[in-house]
Chains A and B, each alone.
Chain A
Amino acid sequence: DAKTTQPPSMDCAEGRAANLPCNHSTISGNEYVYWYRQIHSQGPQYIIHGLKNNETNEMASLIITEDRKSSTLILPHATLRDTAVYYCIVRVREGAAGNKLTFGGGTRVLVKP
């Protein structure tokens, strides 16, 4: 899996949008971008994934640059419960290779009142 680079931490004001960047400059054409988050002492939770188009679900939006070398996870209206560590990973979806998930250090997001 391609390596990802994320800022170690960031703060966000409650009610404002949180924009979390991720660099994946060595991503391959068949690798998807996945985002997970981990609230303290719990198992990671899947948020969203995408290949090259922007994606949106009830939790967040994912913006992937045209060259696919970076992406941004957007939490549109951050709440205190969004305080967590957010992980960006890339993986293939097809075949056995897609079963190996490699996590980096993630971004520790603190939402402040």
Chain B
Amino acid sequence: DGGITQSPKYLFRKEGQNVTLSCEQNLNHDAMYWYRQDPGQGLRLIYYSQIVNDFQKGDIAEGYSVSREKKESFPLTVTSAQKNPTAFYLCASSTRTGARNTEAFFGQGTRLTVV
């Protein structure tokens, strides 16, 4: 089945360590996104990529880094510079049909806890 997969579902790390969250899609989508969600809050955009080897900062990019070497993959690294990394992280993808962008499809999320 086509879809977007985030792994792992739960992740624990010690403070000061970098950690990379995986996001893979087999939907042949051009655009991919990373969001952060804190308890009881909405989604905030961290980074997004419209095409391979290109990405743009979202609203809260500080302390995060991404790469887009393959169309299918958009890993997110939470660095030690991120002051409050504990959160629920969501990856999404979308594409274009003709000139129009389609709706976004989301993964099931990774819950990161930094202790």
Residues of A within 8 A of B (CB): 34, 36, 41-46, 49, 87, 91-96, 98-106
Contacts and interface: CB of A to CB of B under 8 A. Distances in A.
B interface bracket (residues with beta carbon within 8 Å of A) = 20 to 34
Contact of A101 (B41, B45, B109): B45
A96 B101 CA distance: 8
A42 B33 contact: no
A49 B104 CA distance: 12
Contact of A105 (B41, B45, B59, B105): B41
Interface of B: 31, 33, 35, 41-45, 48, 50, 56, 58-59, 88, 90, 92, 94, 99-101, 103-109, 111
A34 B103 CA distance: 8
Nearest to B32: A99
Looking at chain B's contact residues, is the secondary structure mostly helix, strand, loop, or mixed?
Answer: strand
28 contacts: A34-B103, A36-B104, A41-B109, A42-B109, A43-B92, A43-B107, A43-B109, A44-B90, A44-B92, A44-B106, A45-B106, A46-B104, A49-B103, A87-B43, A93-B100, A93-B101, A94-B101, A95-B101, A99-B48, A99-B101, A100-B45, A100-B48, A101-B92, A101-B94, A103-B35, A103-B42, A103-B45, A106-B42
B99 to A, nearest CB: 5
Contacts of A99: 31, 33, 48, 50, 94, 101
Contacts of B58: 100
A46 B20 CA distance: 27
B43 A103 contact: yes
A43 B90 contact: yes
